[in-house]
Structures are given as structure tokens and as C-alpha cells.
């Protein structure tokens, strides 16, 4: 199949593009290349994929660019991942999140609809628009609540999750109103290669590697359900191939951990793979800092429906997944050094604005 992937230079997007090409599909990757989109993440695709791979630098908000991209490349399905995705950034500046996640999704839906309506009957029936979203739209779970599933009501708390919730509703409305064959997926926290160093896992690895304080928000008691990004990429392809239009699929790693436990796990892997001088422990770098405003306590996904309908289940063993991830950052210094030497600074994550910071005892 020929897929149009939006946001294919981002973390999940670049892993997905690689998965699609390896599975023998063709990809048109539409990415604006914001700070988190990185062509370096796609550099290894190699010549043998080049016939089936096209990169289009464009903003999904640009209606004419989207119209032209559809007309030129004639995709058979859309996998829509382009989004502003970092909760802390959305708290500092929500405008971009409304623009890309809400207006951008609207423009993309309109462009897709125009193209889809012009397709031949059989191609139109096969066509799918997979809208890739997050479990954060469901809000926060208590410690004893059942995990989120496809029927959990929406209750977003951050500007980021509210903008993603809005985009989910738009995507479903384009199905209900215009018949566009939309599938929505809501995933839990992803980790793995090529994750931009502003999210917890790469922050911990790179801070540890540089011997800098590792910032843990609040008491580190928040719980996330960690999904290896390759498992997520498999799920998205399965959703496009086997998912039913109008359906939602929750995709999770079945791998809940308190932040502080995950940080200790990563520090332990670092002790093993990249020991500090004089036998000091990486966990000595852990520093509890001021909490994120409106910090959701717990996310967890019940992926039974994806299992039953798509035949998907996460395959990566979490311990090997986290180890592989640390290994990847150790082996791919050039990738993250390039990011840190540009206009992005790891220092913005951490202690600068946290007068309440205290080092773990």
C-alpha cells in the first residue's frame, strides 16, 4: 500500500515510516520539521527504500500544500501523527498546540475528504484515515481504577491533551458527517530509539550520561504505561490494514510503572552499560523537583479490543526494551549531540526554574 504519514520525522513517526518500508509499503512522509521533527532520524533508510519513499516538507495547516500532495502522490491510506506532543511545552505556550493539533487536523481532514471523494469506488472503500492520538484525552486514573478502554469518557486536563481530544472529535465527526473512513487510536507512553530529549526516558538517559541532576517531578509517584515504539508502529499498520472504520483502538504496553521506579531501572541499566567514575551510582543524580501543574496521576490502557480485533499484542519485553533503548542512545551519540548542539538545550529540562529542587538522599 501507499501510505501518507504526517509527522514522519518525529519519534513515533520515524519508527513507523521505517516499519512500513520494511514491510514493503510505500510512504509519503509529510513533515514540517519543527524542533522535534528531525531528518536525521530517517537518514538510515538507505537507497534500497528510496523508490518507495518520498519526503514532503510541508505544514498540515497549509491547505494547498496538502491538496497538492494528495493529487501528486495518490495515497491509499493516511496515518496522521503530526502533532505538538509535549505536555510541559503546552503549559508554557498552548498556541502552537491549538494551531497544529486542532487547525492542522481540520485542514488535513478537509484535504483528505476532497481527495477521497474523487477516488474510484473500490479505492474509496479501501481507503483509511488513521488518526493517532493519546490516552491523555481520558484524563487521570486513581490507583485502583480500571484501565482506560475505548468507552472511557474524555476528560483532558492539559492544553496538550485538550487539543488532542478536540482533534479526535474532529476526526470522528468527519466520519459521521461526511463518511470519511476514520479509525482513531489512543496510545500510552512510548519509549525507544529516536525519542526527542524532552520526554522522561531520554531525559534520564542523557542527564545520567552527562553526570547531571536527573529531574523527577513531585515525588515520582505518577504512573505511566510504557509501550515500546516498535510495538506501537506494528499496531498502527494493523489498524490501517484490519481496523474497522468508526472504531477506536486503545494501544498500551501493559507495563505500568511509577516514574521513580522507572528512573531507578534506567539508572541501573546505565550503571551496567556506562558506569560512572569511582563506582558512583547514577541514581545519586536523582533530584526531586517542583511538580508539573495539573499532573495526571496515572495512565493505563486495556488493549483487549486491539488484541481481539486486530490480533495485536505488545511483543517487546519491557526490561529488554528499556535496555535496548539505553543502548541505542549510547550507540547514537551523533544523533542527540546534533540536537543538543542546535537551538535545543537539555538545560531547559531540569532545575533552572525549580527553586524547590532537592537532591535525593
Q: Does 216 contact ligand DAU by CB under 6 A?
A: yes
For 180, phi and psi rounded to 5 degrees?
-60, 130
User: How far from 44 is each of 14, 41, 134, CA to CA, in Å?
Assistant: 11, 7, 28
The question of whether 299 is a catalytic residue gets the answer no
Q: Does 85 contact ligand DAU by CB under 6 A?
A: yes
Cβ–Cβ under 8 Å, residues 201 and 146? no
- Cβ atoms within 10 Å, residue 129: 24
Site string for ligand DAU, 144-183 (x = CB under 6 A): ----------------------------------------
Cβ–Cβ under 8 Å, residues 107 and 60? yes
| CA dihedral over 265, 270, 275, 278, signed as positive or negative | negative
Site string for ligand DAU, 270-299 (x = CB under 6 A): ----------------------x------x
Chain residue at closest Cβ approach to ligand DAU: 134
Of the pair 107, 189, the CB lying nearest ligand DAU is at 189
Please identify, among the stretches 32-40, 209-217, 307-315, 340-348, the one whose residues bind ligand DAU according to the rule CB under 6 A.
209-217
Of the pair 65, 300, the CB lying nearest ligand DAU is at 300
Which value, in Å, is the radius of gyration of the alpha carbons in the chain? 20
Q: How far apart are CA 132 and CA 151, in angstroms?
A: 17
Q: Does 87 contact ligand DAU by CB under 6 A?
A: yes
Select from 29, 189, 248, 283 the one that contacts ligand DAU (CB under 6 A): 189
Closest-CA residue to 19 (of 239, 223, 197, 271): 239
Q: Does 318 contact ligand DAU by CB under 6 A?
A: no
Taking the complex as a whole, the smallest distance from the CB of residue 91 to ligand DAU amounts, in Å, to 10
Of the pair 216, 250, the CB lying nearest ligand DAU is at 216
The question of whether 329 is a catalytic residue gets the answer no
Select from 101, 105, 107, 134 the one that contacts ligand DAU (CB under 6 A): 134
Marked catalytic residue, from 136, 198, 231, 296 = 136
Report angle CA 299, 159, 138 to the nearest 5 degrees.
30
Report helix, strand or coil for 61. Answer: coil
For 26, phi and psi rounded to 5 degrees?
-100, 150
Residue positions annotated with a catalytic role: 135-136, 160
Binding site for ligand DAU (CB under 6 A): 85-87, 134-136, 188-189, 199-200, 203, 215-217, 222, 224, 259, 292, 299, 349
Amino acid at each position: 500500500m501507499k501510505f501518507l504519514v504526517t509527522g514522519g520525522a518525529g519519534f513515533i513517526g520515524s519508527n513507523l515510516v521505517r516499519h512500513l518500508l520494511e514491510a514493503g509499503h510505500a510512504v509519503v512522509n509529510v513533515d514540517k520539521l519543527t524542533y522535534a521533527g528531525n531528518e536525521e532520524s530517517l537518514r538510515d533508510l538507505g537507497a534500497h527504500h528510496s523508490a518507495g519513499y518520498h519526503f514532503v516538507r510541508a505544514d498540515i495547516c497549509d491547505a494547498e500544500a496538502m491538496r497538492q500532495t494528495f493529487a501528486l502522490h495518490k495515497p491509499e491510506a493516511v496515518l496522521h501523527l503530526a502533532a505538538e506532543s509535549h505536555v510541559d511545552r503546552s503549559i508554557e505556550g498552548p498556541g502552537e498546540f491549538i494551531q497544529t493539533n486542532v487547525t492542522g487536523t481540520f485542514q488535513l481532514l478537509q484535504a483528505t475528504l476532497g481527495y477521497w471523494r474523487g477516488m474510484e469506488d473500490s479505492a474509496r472503500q479501501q481507503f483509511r484515515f488513521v488518526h493517532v492520538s493519546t490516552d491523555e484525552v481520558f484524563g487521570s486514573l486513581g490507583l485502583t481504577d480500571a484501565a482506560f478502554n475505548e468507552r472511557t469518557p474524555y476528560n483532558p486536563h492539559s492544553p496538550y491533551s485538550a487539543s488532542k481530544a478536540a482533534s479526535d472529535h474532529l476526526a470522528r465527526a468527519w466520519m459521521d458527517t461526511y463518511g470519511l473512513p476514520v479509525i482513531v487510536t489512543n496510545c500510552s507512553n512510548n519509549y525507544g530509539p529516536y525519542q526527542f530529549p524532552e520526554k522522561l526516558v531520554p531525559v534520564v538517559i542523557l542527564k545520567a550520561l552527562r553526570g547531571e541532576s536527573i529531574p523527577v517531578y513531585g515525588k515520582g509517584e505518577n504512573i505511566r504505561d510504557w509501550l515500546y515504539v516498535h510495538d506501537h508502529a506494528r499496531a498502527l499498520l494493523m489498524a490501517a490494514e484490519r481496523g474497522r472504520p468508526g472504531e477506536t483502538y486503545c494501544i498500551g504496553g501493559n507495563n505500568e510503572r511509577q516514574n521513580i521506579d522507572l528512573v531507578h531501572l534506567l539508572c541501573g541499566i546505565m550503571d551496567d552499560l556506562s558506569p560512572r567514575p569511582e563506582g558512583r551510582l547514577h541514581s545519586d543524580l536523582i533530584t526531586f523537583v517542583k511538580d508539573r501543574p495539573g499532573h495526571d496521576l496515572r495512565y493505563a490502557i486495556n488493549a483487549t479490543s486491539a488484541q481481539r480485533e486486530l490480533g495485536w499484542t505488545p511483543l517487546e519485553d519491557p526490561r529488554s526494551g528499556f535496555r535496548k533503548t539505553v543502548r541505542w542512545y549510547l550507540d547514537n551519540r551523533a544523533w542527540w549531540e546534533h540536537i543538543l548542539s542546535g537551538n535545543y538545550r537539555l538545560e531547559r529540562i531540569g532545575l533552572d526554574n525549580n527553586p524547590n529542587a532537592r537532591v535525593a538522599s
